[in-house]
Structure 1
Amino acid sequence: MADTLTESERIERGGKRINWIRSRMRLLAGVRADFERDRPFAGLSIGVSLHLEPKTAVLLEVLQAGGAAIVGTGNHGSTQDDIVAVLKAKGMQLYGKRDDDLDQHLKNVAQVVAARPDILLDNGADLVALAIKAGTVGSIRGGTEETTSGGDRLRDELAGKVPFPIIVINDSPLKQIAENRHAVGQSIVESFMRITNLMIPGRRFVVVGYGWCGRGIAQYLDALGGRVAVVETDAIKALEAALDGYRVGKIEDLAGWGEVFITATGRPGVIGEAAIARMRSGAILANSGHFPWEIDVAALRTQATGSELVDDSLERIELADGRHVVLVADGRMFNLAGREPKGNSIESMDIGFMLQALSLARVAGDSRAALVEGAQPVPADINQTIARRMVAEMGVDL
């Protein structure tokens, strides 16, 4: 829906939202105090491609407090305009709006790369890929990658092409447990209920992918009474899903059984034309992965005889054989690209963004010599430091 607020109204609204989030992110508050004292990013710029929402704003404030100049953009479809307005007012150089189409989003990413940042904070490896294509990698000291999808790109498509260290935040067990399993699980189920206004108990859900995010989605659906099946091609993960009590099968075999299909793989085309052809009328298709490619939306539209937007997050698509399916958020990550997005819980992102902040400081500092070129996990000492601080916040004495 169109944003009719003035710039001052956006700043006021966004500022209130950020203030609430900041007040609950106690781990980042401690990091900010350290960064204000030590200034690990003094004289350096950080190029950012990350969902621009209130929790991200707190992270960027912390990096700025550490001396960083911030130049960045959001991810496609998830930018929140009031948050961008606040951050621009703080002197950050940001590009993008919520209603940007994919072409404009890619132009925004190109503007970030053209600014020649010293360090990258990437989400989906968009900045890294474009810097390699543009031949501007020589000025980059290193960076971080937030997601499963980006880690896969770095190790597959971009393998051997990245001449600087990239710490993959998603490889941290802290992110896998706190953010991917519990926060994504909670936020996807909450977003489904809010966007569709449908009940969970008794409804048949097919979760495609049983990595950490898929585990969490299945767990939270099951806890609320959903009937859950899992599609997983990895034999060990499929065994785990079966032992966790879920029906496990191929997408083609589960397509006629499911009522709601949620993808969580990071891979393209996991729900394609053949699966859609077997689905019952009224099936709901939703994606929780970073890239809007897990549901083959192009193939779906080739089968369509018409469509109707129910609202800005739900589209009823009529098929030639008389059936219809419902597409959520145009196949984008619907807990951030759907209506009234909240995303992952504050506490989980407090952990995840502390991982980001300390990893970026490692890339910027003298100890970066211990890092290697290309994708690599979060250093063990950073994981241990954050885990100890988090359990202390929870009142656990180790």
Structure 2
Amino acid sequence: MDYDVKDLGLADQGNLKIEWAERTMPVLRLIKQRFQREKPLQGIRITACLHVTTETANLAKTLKAGGADVRLCASNPLSTQDDVAAALVKHEGIPVFAIKGEDNKTYYDHIESAIGHKPHVSMDDGADVVSHLHSKRKELLKHVIGGTEETTTGVIRLRSMAEKKVLRFPVISVNDADTKHMFDNRYGTGQSTLDGIVRATNRLVCGSTVVVAGYGWCGRGIAMRAKGMGADVIVTEIDPMKGLEAVMDGYRVMPMEKAAPIGDFFITVTGNLKVIRKEHFAVMKDGAIVCNSGHFNVELDIPALEKLSKKKRQIRPGVDEYTLNGGRRVSLLGEGRLVNLATAEGHPSSVMDMSFANQALGAEYIVKNHKMLEKKVYPVPTVIDKEIARLKLAGMGMAIDKLTKEQEKYLASWEMGT
């Protein structure tokens, strides 16, 4: 079996962590049990470019249980858990190509290895496999029947491809599922981002000023968690509706140029580039801490920070301290990459349970319906979304009401008024 991981000797340790995560992933467990019986992915080759974590490992095992030939590579150079990668290779026989801290060349070599089996289905977190297939390996596109996409940044890229008529196969936007973005993005990113910051810095959030750039679902979650930890939260936005929502939620809203001199922590979650730029770094207070929880580190203009600095050193694991002219110090966490994965372990497994349930069922949907789908980005079908929510509630020991016949009739009628 072809693979490239750091050390197979880490496999047993990784296996225990995968088992621990699985205990709070009841929805994916139920899907895996059905997949083992029905084999809906039999003979399907899947290339998954995802964060190689314990939760992803349970998704890979589920896809394999469904009959798929799965290959896995990392969607971010710093997000791989090396023991998990080793466990999948040694104990599950799943080819993995991922090493934490890999350089840019190795990253793309690993994507090449992951698509070496000529995939039928792509499974992305950031659209790097789709982009690579369309730009570098066009000859493999004839094998691909569809794909799934996990994250906001990837969906933005794919919708751009679809609008320009260059997307060559249908893609299910897992990110648009309510059971993904309303929970994974808000509660998962919210908790794991603050977890990454605290692990990296050991700084007190309470009483500090936290600047959150972007008030989408991820920004909402981060702002909520920071406020819950006692921070004074400032939100920066370009959308007046989201800016207004942030104000109504109790946060201060202002442009980044005004927030830059007063923030203690800066967190970007916009999906755009150069959100924090040279002019912002230049006025930050001594000791400011900057990080990113969007998919790519381009949200921070790191080259500009380098040019402004006269000295750089790693002062703690995952913390690069830049000394600017005048002696002020700005610290960058996790090289500007996803801080929740670069300096912590990513989302809690109970949240990823729903996201990866969407991935598994999205892949099954593509296999069953690809001949009827156009070459564009589709939302997760509502019936799948609601079934995942139902299963999650059941897994948590919760139940909801059902409409009575009288209530159903009332909601369907126009004759009955007040």
Tell me the TM-score normalised to structure 2 length: 0.91
Partner of 1:78: 79
- The structural deviation recorded for 1:103 is 2.1
Looking at structure 2, the residues matched to 120 and 233 of structure 1 have their Cα atoms a distance apart, in angstroms, of 32
Q: Determine which of 264, 267, 270 is the counterpart of 1:262.
A: 267
Amino acid of the residue matched to residue 160 of structure 2?
Answer: D
Looking at structure 2, the residues matched to 388 and 342 of structure 1 have their Cα atoms a distance apart, in angstroms, of 27
Partner of 1:361: 364
Summarize the Cα distance change of 1:84–1:376 in structure 2 as closer, same or farther, 3 Å threshold. Answer: same
Amino acid of the residue matched to residue 143 of structure 1?
Answer: G
Looking at structure 2, the residues matched to 368 and 388 of structure 1 have their Cα atoms a distance apart, in angstroms, of 26
Q: Counterpart of 2:299 in 1: which secondary structure?
A: coil
Q: Determine which of 372, 384, 387 is the counterpart of 1:385.
A: 387
Partner of 1:110: 112
Structure 2 gap ranges (5+):
1-5, 402-418
Q: Determine which of 325, 334, 345 is the counterpart of 2:330.
A: 325
Q: Counterpart of 2:387 in 1: which secondary structure?
A: helix
Partner of 1:193: 198
- The structural deviation recorded for 1:157 is 5.1
Contact 1:218 1:228 in 2 (8 A): yes
Looking at structure 1, the residues matched to 371 and 382 of structure 2 have their Cα atoms a distance apart, in angstroms, of 16
Contact 1:281 1:324 in 2 (8 A): yes
Looking at structure 1, the residues matched to 62 and 8 of structure 2 have their Cα atoms a distance apart, in angstroms, of 24
Report the aligned-residue RMSD.
1.4
Looking at structure 1, the residues matched to 276 and 105 of structure 2 have their Cα atoms a distance apart, in angstroms, of 24
Summarize the Cα distance change of 1:158–1:324 in structure 2 as closer, same or farther, 3 Å threshold. Answer: farther
Amino acid of the residue matched to residue 89 of structure 2?
Answer: K
Partner of 1:138: 142
Partner of 1:49: 49
Contact 1:255 1:278 in 2 (8 A): yes
Of stretches 77-86 and 207-216 in structure 1, the one that deviates more from structure 2 is 77-86
Residue identity (%)? 35
Structure 1 gap ranges (5+):
none
Contact 2:200 2:317 in 1 (8 A): no
- The structural deviation recorded for 1:16 is 0.7
Contact 1:288 1:334 in 2 (8 A): yes
Partner of 2:158: 154
Partner of 2:408: none
Looking at structure 2, the residues matched to 352 and 172 of structure 1 have their Cα atoms a distance apart, in angstroms, of 8
Q: How many residues align?
A: 390
Contact 1:72 1:93 in 2 (8 A): yes
Q: Counterpart of 1:47 in 2: which secondary structure?
A: strand
- The structural deviation recorded for 1:106 is 1.6
1:30-49 equivalences in 2 (<5 Å): 30-49=30-49
Q: Counterpart of 1:325 in 2: which secondary structure?
A: strand
Q: Determine which of 77, 101, 110 is the counterpart of 2:103.
A: 101
Partner of 1:225: 230
Looking at structure 1, the residues matched to 307 and 371 of structure 2 have their Cα atoms a distance apart, in angstroms, of 51
Amino acid of the residue matched to residue 104 of structure 2?
Answer: L
Partner of 2:12: 12
- The structural deviation recorded for 1:25 is 1.1
Contact 1:282 1:324 in 2 (8 A): yes
- The structural deviation recorded for 1:393 is 2.2
- The structural deviation recorded for 1:158 is 5.8
Matched, 1:239 2:244: yes
Superimposed CA distance per residue, residues 121-169 of structure 1 (whole angstroms, 9 cap, x where no aligned partner): 1110000011011212111010100000000111125642112110011
Contact 1:129 1:158 in 2 (8 A): no
Partner of 2:414: none
Q: Counterpart of 1:229 in 2: which secondary structure?
A: strand
- The structural deviation recorded for 1:277 is 1.0
